[in-house]
A = this chain, B = another copy of it.
């Protein structure tokens, strides 16, 4: 590895801490910053700090927000009878881009994982139960990830919430649209068969 000047080497190291950025990408980004104006670097630096300083969690759904109540919880046009439960705030983005879902959200901030010592107490489950206890909610959609932790969390929540008298549903698993059956793994294929719908 060639010797970079210290500030440059440090910036490369910091970029490498970001996900999906390896040595070569980090070098390219650092040299870009070097070429760009000081005000560009200043704006990125300020944006980094503002994200840490100005954002908090919504007091209702635990989504990221720059106010005490997030935009979705504030919006009275949205269907107050549905709550979609997700693991992380960025999962909301994927659902919002469909422009189809008009209900509310609840962010767990993780999934159950005995291996990583994450139990129900580490997740935002208590506030979810309280929201349902308030009585307006009719359906809870469990949109945790389709992996072991996400499935376990969905099963746990389902057992916890059903006795409260709400409908509990799970997002469908199957072949991705635009994909080819050939590339589907056996579990996905099975889920796709199992979840078949009459035409």
Contacts and interface: CB of A to CB of B under 8 A. Distances in A.
Contacts of A66: 5-8
Interface residues of A, number: 57
Interface string A26-62: 0111111110101011111111111111110000000
A107 to B, nearest CB: 12
The A interface, classified by DSSP as helix, strand, loop or mixed, is: helix
A18 interface: yes
A47 B5 contact: no
B47 A51 contact: no
A48 B55 contact: no
Contacts of A34: 51-52, 55, 64, 89
Interface of A: 1-8, 10-11, 13-15, 17-21, 25, 27-34, 36, 38, 40-55, 64-66, 70-71, 88-90, 92-93, 96-97
